Amino acid sequence: MSPPALPLEPGSTIGILGGGQLGRMLALAAARLGFDVVVLEQKADSPAGRAACRLIVADYGDEAALAQLAGLTNLVTYEFENVPSASVAWLAAHGVEVAPGSRALAVAQDRFEEKTFLNANGAPTVAFAKADTAQEAADAVAQIGAPALMKTRREGYDGKGQRWVEHAAGAVSAFEALGGVPVIVEAAASFVRELSVIAARGRDGATAIYPLAENHHENGILRRSIAPAHADAALNDQAERIAARVLAGLDYVGVIGIELFEMERGQLLVNEIAPRVHNTGHWTEDGCEVDQFEQHIRAVAGWPLGPTRAIARVEMVNLLGEEAEAWAKFAAEPETRLHLYGKRGSRPGRKMGHINRVRPL
Amino acid sequence: MSPPALPLEPGSTIGILGGGQLGRMLALAAARLGFDVVVLEQKADSPAGRAACRLIVADYGDEAALAQLAGLTNLVTYEFENVPSASVAWLAAHGVEVAPGSRALAVAQDRFEEKTFLNANGAPTVAFAKADTAQEAADAVAQIGAPALMKTRREGYDGKGQRWVEHAAGAVSAFEALGGVPVIVEAAASFVRELSVIAARGRDGATAIYPLAENHHENGILRRSIAPAHADAALNDQAERIAARVLAGLDYVGVIGIELFEMERGQLLVNEIAPRVHNTGHWTEDGCEVDQFEQHIRAVAGWPLGPTRAIARVEMVNLLGEEAEAWAKFAAEPETRLHLYGKRGSRPGRKMGHINRVRPL
């Protein structure tokens, strides 16, 4: 195939790498705009696979599967940032446009590259240092100061692949506990709040930025978001400036999630970026005219971006594990919108769905 | 299978008879609530088939296909009122619950039964008479008075299967032009506006009624709806009373569309009822917290009904035939939400999508 003619016409097929809930909600948004969706996912039974027009079950690196995908569509996006770069390269070499592009993936897949990129683009972060060996890890903690957070440079989500180093003496054991792989050591952020901004950039370079969300994590997993977060104009301006720099710096196409720390004097630091739709943006489904899922589809399809202002105040609560069993209670609450992912089998901490509790602005 | 345990748990499968746009939007709403959807549809390629988890391609009366459906789900609904009653009976005999039920289908499939039911349940209509022969047709027009509208008792939609009889002398030729099948002759309604009310009834008998929509037809096809319609309390009360009577009279489960004529002195007459989600209810997708599609899934699944109040004012415009080719223009309008059905090939008058132009109440 040759690269897609943009804007992509309704009736065309969009490929999604990944079959989880983000892929499912992307697929539903794409269908509403008249697109067909083909999902490539490793598991035969998946939330997105069951909401898509076509499903290819294979490893993301399987060339036969990629060829099948390339035969069905010339525009592919993804729902998670650990897509193999070789797969993206293979698709590009076969005329398939992958958005967001390989630059965003490369930066987001490596926490050291990510923070280096952010600082180089005027988006401040905590102090950090990389370490490839136990000795370098000890040096890095000494340089950054304990307590510090040690994370594997690659992989890891929802608090996995990271470890607090409370005292300098613990650096080596933390490094070993993380598998002896390359790590990044980050200074502890004495933040007052965790915030995030969901932003989008179209193929024409236009940007659209949603209001800030205030996020609460438990055990490294997002528990709830409140949006729009209470924030003064200066804080909003700062967030928008950061989002604009990140989007431009990555020459980004699509929706991105940017997690922020609000520090004591109101300064924002970037915690991390995710080159995809984001859990802290689920509030937009019931709080905005165009939610993050439709916005992402619009962006990658070369459509104009939609409005991002809030039309309601939303408390988004993740339903983890057996919490989703209370669906009947939530369904009976007039102010509560229920979003369930159709996952088979719950285990503690697994994201089974979310609710948006909606009230007027 | 035995009848479904209600309320139906998320993760269960819901069957939909019919693969058109209404089925597609039902499928997307069901997926959002965590359900899987299996569609039974005659055509291999259809809007709902491409948004469902499973697709069975067969005639609605095909027993092997119905058996396959019954093996996948014990709860089935439909997107159009001309489902064969024999199919519903077959499914019921095999432990499959079909909602809305056979009473609603029987009434809605025959325009004479429909108006007879309505009048018997305190829902007024224009004067009408049935005719099975040319002579009876002439008598009926003489009784009702010309001009009158002659319609086949069964089948027909979007203005098909009906004919104006301008003078009594034209009765026989109209009857013959309609194929010599049983007809109903209806008095001309000198209405001032066409309105409709979308209403829902749950398995517990609870009802939820959306605000009135004002509808404009062209060539028998819905062109646009404006909702909530400007209406005083008396008119709203009247509509709600009619909806409540229709729902109770049919022991209804699901969403129903009730088309109304507003007469000169503010009286409402029922034009027709459709035992399904309805084109004049598409405004609820962007004007209400719970739209008609989710509401229908909630009702048939035995879930509590959701709120029906309007949170915005919406102008819904159907995109007919090549009008949908202007999708890029609509996508660029900030106040416009675009809903496309993914239909292959447009022909004049074919419903390809709709837009909701949204503004504050």
ipTM: 0.96
pLDDT band at B1 (very low <50, low <70, confident <90, very high): low
The position carrying tokens 């900030």 is B334
Query: Which pLDDT does position B175 carry in this prediction?
Result: 96
B245 and B273 Cβ atoms separated by less than 8 Å: no
**For residue A217, how far is the Cα from the chain centroid?**
15
Pairing verdict, β A268-274 and A254-262: antiparallel
Instruction: Tell me which chain A residue has its CA closest to the CA of residue B10.
Output: A342
> pLDDT tens for residues A120-132?
999 999 999 999 9
CB pairs below 8 Å between A and B: how many? 95
Average pLDDT over residues A93-102: 95
Residue A215's closest CA among A161, A282, A156? A282
- Which pair of structure tokens corresponds to residue B150? 């002659």
Closest CA in chain B for residue A333: B306
**B22: closest chain A residue by CA:** A32
pLDDT score recorded for residue B157: 66
Enumerate domains of chain B plus CATH numbers: 13-98 (3.40.50.20), 127-187 (3.30.1490.20), 193-359 (3.30.470.20)
Q: Are strands A36-41 and A54-57 parallel, antiparallel or unpaired?
A: parallel
Q: Does the beta carbon of A180 lie under 8 angstroms from any beta carbon of chain B?
A: no
Residue corresponding to tokens 């809030």: A310
pTM for this predicted structure: 0.96
Q: Report cis status (omega within 30 of 0) of the bond before B211.
A: no
pLDDT at residue A118, as a whole number: 98
Model confidence at A346, in pLDDT bands (50, 70, 90)?
confident
* Residues of chain B found within 8 Å of residue A290, distances taken between Cβ atoms: 337
pLDDT digits (tens, 9 = 90+) for A45-95: 999 999 999 999 999 999 999 999 999 999 999 999 989 999 999 999 999
Beta bridge partners, B332, equal none
Contact A35/B at CB under 8 A: yes
Residue of A nearest to B290 (CA): A337
Residues 320-359 of B with CB under 8 A from A: 324, 327-328, 331-332, 334, 337-344, 353, 358
Do the Cβ atoms of A51 and B50 come within 8 Å? no
The pLDDT score that the predictor gives to residue A158 is: 66
pLDDT digits (tens, 9 = 90+) for A129-156: 999 999 999 999 999 999 999 999 998 7
Among B34, B50, B332, select the one facing A342 at the smallest CB separation. Answer: B34
Q: How far apart are CA B26 and CA B11, in angstroms?
A: 16
Shortest CA distance to B204 belongs to which of B305, B100, B297? Answer: B305
Interface test with A, best of B8, B24, B25, B50 (most A CBs within 10 A): B50
Quick one: pLDDT at residue A2?
78
* Residue B360 clears pLDDT 90, i.e. is over it: yes
- Model pLDDT, residue A220: 86
Predicted confidence band at A3 (pLDDT cuts at 50, 70, 90)? confident
Nearest to A34 among B289, B332, B342 (CB): B342
pLDDT at A157 over 70: no
Q: Cβ–Cβ of A307/B340 closer than 8 Å?
A: no
Which residues, listed in sequence order, are joined to residue B93 by a DSSP beta bridge?
none
